[in-house]
Chain A
Amino acid sequence: MLLTITTTAEPATDLGFLLHKHPDRVQRFPQSFGTAHVFYPEADQDRCTAALMLEIDPIALVRTRRRDTPDFSLGQYVNDRPYAASSLLASAMANVFRTALRGRCDARPELAASAIPLEVALPALPCRGGPGLAEELFAPLGWRVEATPVPLDPGFPEWGDSRYVSLTLRGTLRLAAALNQVYVLLPVLDQAKHYWMSPQEVDKLIRAGEGWLADHPARTTIVRRYLANRRGLVRSALGRLAEAEDAPEDALDRGPIDEEPPAAGAADETAGADVADGVVEADGELPAAPPVPLAERRIAAVLEVLRQEGATSVIDLGCGSGKLLKRMLADPFFTRVAGTDVSHRALTMARRALQAVRTNARWTVFPGALTYADDRFHGYDAAVLMEVIEHIDPPRLPAVERVVFGDARPRVVVVTTPNVEYNVRYAGLASDAMRHPDHRFEWTRAEFRAWTEKVARTHGYTVRHLPVGEDDPEVGPPTQMGVFTR
């Protein structure tokens, strides 16, 4: 809600010309979500400070949206927008300092074109990634960065720091460059869900990066974070259930499951990377010969087993976004393929992926849950549970066993799951952490073996075990696989 810009250039009051705002006036600029005020707390020859203060009307913020769908998350009613330096502040900057952002100043053209000593202060800047990220993003642009974390609640010191920092930037830059940088990086640091931003505003922000973003060492991160959190305006059914549970709105959403924690120093690869590459031309950033990703090796191992077992009709139980299904459709060996998942989002992705494949195989994907017996699971040579069981609460696992091995009873069942012993090889993974936040357990090789053997005995299958990925002599392979046959 507050941004102050201070200069010590002589005469400092020229800041008024650069910003096109007179130092002796208090000005109001109505915004769709409140009012922006510009005033000068100090305006001396040697030091002048302009303040942009945004007074947000939290009720108007929500009510300007479609009135007929009163379907907002609680987070849209109770949030930090009235206090934090968020994308709304960026938006107000664009509006109030439009000419200054373009670097135009007819009264002092030479001043607008030259670097001047500046101090920019943001007392409550949301910064997911901590003070270090603020340093990482602003320092390469020539700023000395002072970022102090804000404690979450002084009454509960054990809660630690909040995601906010008090940020002060000092440096000698053109004012227009400084404004543009702040304008773009505010939402990047915030990384909040941009309920309040229209696509046009996004375009504007990308344009504001001209001249400095392309050379920024963290440009991929900047653009990815910028775009990754654009969301639909209406909360999902899952969001509503999360709220009923007193949990954050996205607590029940499950990210992509093709997880492999980063090994030491590996670049983080997430969904936004493709978008980022489209916006900022990435050239030669990737290492020369990347190793085959584990997800790919897993798929290859599963396909190999299905082939060996002569299983031409296969159902993928927990198919996710359809990566395995897609490969089976492309392979004429498979004649009938089905996938099921309980996530609506995953199924939509799977359907889209499969429709693009030219195939002679018959295929279907449908919503289903492995804790409910389902006639649609019947009648396939093989069922695949690839990286699925570890997402099931252990007390519910016997139900899944009964559904798959007791009720559907295909001739072949292939199960893969992480080998927790291998986790020590992931430098990026904390020692007690699991590979994915939704994992309910991760098993050692012995635990997996004990489970598979119990299941096989109970349901009349025989089981064999295969490693997937590099079989480390000490800790075993990253993924373990059990092949059940009867």
Chain B
Amino acid sequence: MTEITIPELGLVVLVGVSGSGKSHFARKHFTPTQVVSSDRCRAVVSDDENDQSATGDAFELLHFIVATRLRRGLLTVVDATNLQPRNRQQLVRIAKDHDVPAVAIVLKVPLKVAQERNAARPDRCLPPHVLPRQHRELRHGLKSLSREFHRHYVLDGVEEIDAATVVYAKARHDRRELTGPFDIIGDVHGCRPELETLLTRLGYRIERDADGRARGARHPEGRTAVFVGDLVDRGPDTPGVLRLVMGMVETGDALCVSGNHEDKLVRALRGRKVKISHGLAASLTQLEAEPEEFRDRVRTFLGDLVSHYMLDGGRLVVAHAGLKEKYQGRSSGRVRAFALYGDTTGETDEYGLPVRYPWAEDYRGRAMVVYGHTPIPEPEWVNNTICLDTGCVFGGRLTALRYPERELVSVPAERVWYPPVRPLEAAAPDASAAGARRERDVLKISDVHDLNGVRTSLLGRVAVREENALAALEVMSRFAIDPRWLVYLPPTMAPAAASSLPGYLEHPAEAFEAYRGDGLERVVCEEKHMGSRAIAVVCRDAGTAADRFGVDDGTTGALYTRTGRAFFRDPARTEEVLDRLRDAIGAAGLWDELGTGWLVLDCELMPWSVKAMDLIRTQYAATAAAARAALPAATAALERAAARGLDVADLRARTARRAGNAAAFRDAYARYCWTVDGLEGVRLAPFQILAGEGTSYAAARDHLWHLRIADRLAAADPSGLLAPTASRVVELASEESEAAVTEWWLDLTENGGEGMVVKPLGSAPAGGKVQPGLKCRGREYLRIIYGPDYADPENLERLRDRGLGRKRALALREHALGMEALDRLTAGEPLWRVHQAVFAVLALECEPVDPRL
């Protein structure tokens, strides 16, 4: 009985004459979607399985399906005669292009059997000469199979075909079932003393043989070490390192991938011709001193090393020189070459060393990639990848990464064991602290263009329309600040339903009612400052800005608007605001209390006229000026007409009322305008602490916490820049509580306040799409939005009929995106992931909704 071993991801090519039972075999061993049949493709393109004139098109379709499935990582079986090497080579080429193995299964039946089977099928009428010819082709073609395929099986005769079984073999790199925790260790290069120290520091207990040599190590908590390769060469004790690591791998305490140095060493040990560099020569000499069985063990160990491992459900990839997403989980010559040697640009640097292709900067995969190979002074995060080769053998350090903790642990080299060709610092002249994030101010257009929406944890996929994405792209590229600072954009907020109280378009009662309807017991009402929204990103110092945000030009944060523009054109003014915020955060003790070196704050900046002056001039003040010029003239004309005895009483009354409305309108906007001089007169009211290192406070804390912190910030600011935000809690079951807060709102808005925002407290009931906030704007303020005469009864009646559905849906979607951006930011995800969510908020802001809502 033949047992056929099939890779879980690969191409299976069935080979056999017409009537050899390929389709039957395929049906028996594979699922219908795995099998791509040439007959079926012929039928698809011609409505006739036997139409030989459609063969060309049929195979084009077949190849397309095979390529698509392989690209998507699906096992694929080709059911066609595949008798001629030429046909098979096309398929093997497709497998190669997708870096998967190809396996052939040959079904051989006697000519007579094939002839009988074909004769029994009325739909098929092969000319008599065809089968004998196929039979000959099969015989001749068999010789080349071993060259063409990774493996091939020949099933000779009907019985053997029927008896064959298929088993799946997992690829050797596929260890997704291992979930760690892991300690991933950088390039050791024969530095046994440092390795022992590092393992001890990581908590491993080293086992020694009779001669006191380390031969294994085990972590009491069951952690697994993962070596990124280049254990050997250059250093003082390559055999010692190998003894230790081989022992750990044999007992299951470690995994190891091959480095380029292992690759060369094993070839040298096998007696192949390799260029013996100085480092390799040292290893060979050291190994010479070991007994033959040790060298055998080394040969086997090195020869068995895989190019990369996929671990922890596919979330972690370890490869010596890194691995781009396309190659993860694949196996081919070029995958192995990339994993062991990396990719180079073809150019060489001033030291004559090859310039490495910066694959990590382009990396957009979800898996974390941990690698070594290129010595650097300090490990840096680049798009969820990190290099751990800190050049121990060159006198640097030996570094490990704890996974999933993302903590770096390292020990210094005991000495320079091998002189570096290129000074370590020269590799990265602007090196920053260990574990810093290197983010460029350039993202890729594919990060934001042709987005099929953005996945959010709150709402699933949020779609972005093409035309909105283009408008957002224009605004983002022409006006927005450096994307490294642009980590969040605030969502829009819906108002409460229209009030039915006389004289009111908005009133707290509707907001309370809405949240009661959502099943909430408490809400908090926050004073709504009337200024301009401002997001502040504040770092404790320039070093934090460089390490956490990758901005190393000395700026320590940003202050930007709802569409991502710098709030102040003058960078010095921004730094001044950041200084004061920083001082307040420090004085309030928040850096230590929250354990972070940076914070993102949601604020309102006043006065409104700082940012909106252009709009105030052209729209609000202009309207009031026109009214001021026109209405008195109209009144005078009407008075003279009345004096003549004409009946203009109604018109006069209306005109007088409109003059009063226009004056109220003027007062409404003028309240939010005042002259500032530098920061003199400017007020900034932080009302939410969006995020800090490791925590999205927007998600993790309730609004009362945010308001308490905001109060502490305002209190800790001696400069008078920071303003507190007044608030009241409402027990929705208590009429008294509701009445008290309504009174507060009336008071606030009668005294010129914009109004308030009502936000939920306590956990929202599951499944409900509860608005993150509802705004209740004051009667006078709304004149700015709805026009001077909006509150006249006949106008108000019509304005109450306003559709809120779109606005509410938009508010929920933008909220989900905003929270997603903060989640990604605080989870330490790469910038492009954060930027996607932020960009989508901007795109959604282009959705057409009633701008008065």
Instruction: Determine the chain B residues whose CB is within 8 A of the CB of A371 once the complex forms.
Output: 441-442, 476-477
Q: Identify the stretch in B90-98, B305-313, B464-472, B734-742 within 8 Å (CB) of chain A at 4 or more residues.
A: B464-472
Interface of chain B: mostly helix, strand, loop or mixed? helix
Contact A238 B471, CB 8 Å, known A43-B644, A247-B614, A407-B442:
yes
Does B114 count as interface, using CB distance less than 8 angstroms? no
Does A77 count as interface, using CB distance less than 8 angstroms? yes
Instruction: Determine the chain B residues whose CB is within 8 A of the CB of A39 once the complex forms.
Output: 637-638, 641, 646, 648
Task: Using CB atoms, name the residue of chain B closest to A398.
Answer: B441
Does B845 count as interface, using CB distance less than 8 angstroms? yes
- A88 and B751 CA atoms in complex are apart in Å by 36
For residue B686, give the distance in angstroms from its CB to the closest CB of chain A: 19
Task: Using CB atoms, name the residue of chain A closest to B629.
Answer: A124
Task: Using CB atoms, name the residue of chain B closest to A78.
Answer: B787
Does A74 count as interface, using CB distance less than 8 angstroms? yes
Instruction: Determine the chain B residues whose CB is within 8 A of the CB of A344 once the complex forms.
Output: 467, 470-471, 474
From B442, B467, B479, A237 is in contact (CB under 8 Å) with B467
From B472, B627, B644, B675, A40 is in contact (CB under 8 Å) with B644
Q: Identify the stretch in A64-72, A136-144, A322-330 within 8 Å (CB) of chain B at 4 or more residues.
A: A64-72
Contact B798 A59, beta carbon cutoff 8 Å: yes
Task: Using CB atoms, name the residue of chain A closest to B797.
Answer: A59
- A31 and B467 CA atoms in complex are apart in Å by 37
For residue B670, give the distance in angstroms from its CB to the closest CB of chain A: 6
From B492, B566, B787, A77 is in contact (CB under 8 Å) with B787
Does B563 count as interface, using CB distance less than 8 angstroms? yes
Contact A150 B625, beta carbon cutoff 8 Å: yes
Task: Using CB atoms, name the residue of chain A closest to B609.
Answer: A156
Contact B630 A83, beta carbon cutoff 8 Å: yes
- A206 and B837 CA atoms in complex are apart in Å by 51
Instruction: Determine the chain A residues whose CB is within 8 A of the CB of B482 once the complex forms.
Output: 395-396, 399
Instruction: Determine the chain A residues whose CB is within 8 A of the CB of B629 once the complex forms.
Output: 83, 123-124, 150, 164, 166
Contact A55 B851, beta carbon cutoff 8 Å: no
From B474, B563, B615, B673, A369 is in contact (CB under 8 Å) with B474
Does A151 count as interface, using CB distance less than 8 angstroms? yes
From A53, A156, A244, A368, B637 is in contact (CB under 8 Å) with A53
For residue A234, give the distance in angstroms from its CB to the closest CB of chain B: 8
Contact A78 B619, beta carbon cutoff 8 Å: yes
For residue A342, give the distance in angstroms from its CB to the closest CB of chain B: 5
For residue A474, give the distance in angstroms from its CB to the closest CB of chain B: 31
Does A240 count as interface, using CB distance less than 8 angstroms? yes
Contact B845 A373, beta carbon cutoff 8 Å: no
- A74 and B467 CA atoms in complex are apart in Å by 21
Contact A372 B852, beta carbon cutoff 8 Å: no
Does A481 count as interface, using CB distance less than 8 angstroms? no
From B443, B481, B632, B785, A395 is in contact (CB under 8 Å) with B481
Does B795 count as interface, using CB distance less than 8 angstroms? yes
- A237 and B637 CA atoms in complex are apart in Å by 44
Chain A, range 238-253, C-beta contacts under 8 Å to B: 238, 240-241, 243-248, 251-252
For residue B491, give the distance in angstroms from its CB to the closest CB of chain A: 11
Q: How many interface residues does chain B have, given as a range? A: 35 or more
- A455 and B344 CA atoms in complex are apart in Å by 24
- A1 and B602 CA atoms in complex are apart in Å by 43
Mask for B593-608, Cβ within 8 A of A = 1, else 0? 0000000000000001
Contact A55 B651, beta carbon cutoff 8 Å: yes
- A84 and B625 CA atoms in complex are apart in Å by 9
Task: Using CB atoms, name the residue of chain A closest to B553.
Answer: A395
Instruction: Determine the chain B residues whose CB is within 8 A of the CB of A26 once the complex forms.
Output: 641, 646-648, 651
Contact B442 A403, beta carbon cutoff 8 Å: yes
User: Which of B448, B492, B625, B627 gathers most chain A CB within 10 Å?
Assistant: B625
Does A265 count as interface, using CB distance less than 8 angstroms? no
- A263 and B612 CA atoms in complex are apart in Å by 33
Does A296 count as interface, using CB distance less than 8 angstroms? no
Contact B442 A123, beta carbon cutoff 8 Å: no
Does B850 count as interface, using CB distance less than 8 angstroms? yes
From B443, B619, B795, B850, A75 is in contact (CB under 8 Å) with B619
From B477, B617, B847, B852, A152 is in contact (CB under 8 Å) with B617
For residue A127, give the distance in angstroms from its CB to the closest CB of chain B: 11
Instruction: Determine the chain A residues whose CB is within 8 A of the CB of B628 once the complex forms.
Output: 150
Chain B, range 445-479, C-beta contacts under 8 Å to A: 445-449, 467-468, 470-479
Mask for A146-163, Cβ within 8 A of B = 1, else 0? 000011110110110011
From B477, B612, B621, A372 is in contact (CB under 8 Å) with B477
Instruction: Determine the chain B residues whose CB is within 8 A of the CB of A215 once the complex forms.
Output: none
Contact B626 A402, beta carbon cutoff 8 Å: no
User: Which of B447, B611, B634, B852 gathers most chain A CB within 10 Å?
Assistant: B634
Does A186 count as interface, using CB distance less than 8 angstroms? no
Contact A159 B621, beta carbon cutoff 8 Å: yes
Task: Using CB atoms, name the residue of chain A closest to B443.
Answer: A372
Does A410 count as interface, using CB distance less than 8 angstroms? no
Does A2 count as interface, using CB distance less than 8 angstroms? yes
Contact B617 A238, beta carbon cutoff 8 Å: no
Does A73 count as interface, using CB distance less than 8 angstroms? yes
Does A370 count as interface, using CB distance less than 8 angstroms? yes
Contact A41 B640, beta carbon cutoff 8 Å: yes
Does B440 count as interface, using CB distance less than 8 angstroms? yes
Instruction: Determine the chain B residues whose CB is within 8 A of the CB of A343 once the complex forms.
Output: 474
Task: Using CB atoms, name the residue of chain B closest to A234.
Answer: B848
Does A367 count as interface, using CB distance less than 8 angstroms? yes
Instruction: Determine the chain A residues whose CB is within 8 A of the CB of B477 once the complex forms.
Output: 342, 369-372
Instruction: Determine the chain A residues whose CB is within 8 A of the CB of B799 once the complex forms.
Output: 59
Contact B641 A73, beta carbon cutoff 8 Å: no
- A35 and B597 CA atoms in complex are apart in Å by 63
From B565, B621, B626, B790, A124 is in contact (CB under 8 Å) with B626
Chain A, range 1-20, C-beta contacts under 8 Å to B: 1-2, 4
Instruction: Determine the chain B residues whose CB is within 8 A of the CB of A374 once the complex forms.
Output: 444-445
Contact A84 B626, beta carbon cutoff 8 Å: yes
From A80, A236, A245, A342, B478 is in contact (CB under 8 Å) with A342
Contact B626 A246, beta carbon cutoff 8 Å: no
Task: Using CB atoms, name the residue of chain A closest to B632.
Answer: A123
Does B512 count as interface, using CB distance less than 8 angstroms? no
Contact B474 A342, beta carbon cutoff 8 Å: yes
Does A361 count as interface, using CB distance less than 8 angstroms? no
Does B332 count as interface, using CB distance less than 8 angstroms? no
- A53 and B635 CA atoms in complex are apart in Å by 11
Does B784 count as interface, using CB distance less than 8 angstroms? yes
For residue A335, give the distance in angstroms from its CB to the closest CB of chain B: 25
Contact A241 B851, CB 8 Å, known A152-B617, A153-B625:
no
For residue A74, give the distance in angstroms from its CB to the closest CB of chain B: 5
Does A104 count as interface, using CB distance less than 8 angstroms? no
Does B562 count as interface, using CB distance less than 8 angstroms? yes
Instruction: Determine the chain B residues whose CB is within 8 A of the CB of A402 once the complex forms.
Output: 440-442
Contact A164 B622, CB 8 Å, known A123-B629, A344-B470, A403-B442:
yes
Closest 7 pairs between A and B when the two form their complex, measured CB to CB: A369-B477, A237-B471, A123-B633, A41-B640, A237-B846, A124-B630, A83-B626
9 new A-B contacts, CB < 8 A, other than A37-B651, A123-B633, A343-B474, are: A51-B641, A58-B789, A70-B850, A71-B848, A78-B619, A238-B475, A245-B562, A254-B478, A375-B445
Query: Which residues of A are at the interface with B, using a C-beta cutoff of 8 A?
Result: 1-2, 4, 24-26, 37, 39-43, 49, 51, 53, 55, 58-59, 63, 69-75, 77-80, 82-85, 121, 123-124, 126, 150-153, 155-156, 158-159, 162-164, 166, 234-238, 240-241, 243-248, 251-252, 254, 342-344, 367-376, 391-393, 395-396, 398-399, 402-403, 407, 438
- Between-chain CB contacts (< 8 Å), 23 pairs: A1-B634, A26-B647, A37-B651, A59-B795, A71-B848, A74-B852, A77-B786, A82-B658, A82-B788, A83-B630, A84-B630, A126-B626, A153-B624, A238-B475, A240-B471, A240-B845, A241-B846, A248-B619, A372-B447, A372-B473, A376-B445, A396-B441, A402-B441
